[in-house]
Amino acid sequence: MITIDFECANGHRFEGNFSDYESFSSQQHADMIACPLCSTTDVKRIYTGCSIRPRQSAPLKTKQKSPGIFEAIRSINRYVRENFDNVGRDFPDVARAMHYGIEEERQIYGESTPQEISELVEEGISLLPLVDIDRIEN
């Protein structure tokens, strides 16, 4: 079964259902397709978006589970720990020193209080707090 959209010469839009393309084609060439509102056979096919649902040829072998938010945060934290320098409690001082050109810039992470983070942001120092996901999960 196929559905085709049409528009008649009077601007009426409608759709027709056909068992297959050959049925549509033969009815179109024989002027058998008529507008249901004004009965004119002066109709044209309108091409619209369609939805095609392919048949599944074989069952999926494996279904990969999409990572959840907790797994994504763990992945980010792992990357930072493996690739950045841990400056510990000196984080605010080292971040300022790099920002003002006293120290060479590098990727760092460490510890700071919410107040220290607020002060760094006010000074225009970009940072991204890491979430200790193991502490907040569950």
pTM here? Answer: 0.50
DSSP letter, residue 95: H
Q: What is the pLDDT at residue 40?
A: 93
Answer yes or no: are the C-beta atoms of 127 and 120 closer than 8 Å: yes
Q: What is the pLDDT at residue 54?
A: 66
CA distances, 34 to each of 45, 62, 121 (Å):
12, 50, 69
What's the average pLDDT block by block, 10 residues per block, for the chain (138 residues)?
89 90 90 92 82 64 73 90 95 95 94 93 91 74
User: Hey, where are the domains in the chain?
Assistant: 2-46, 69-136
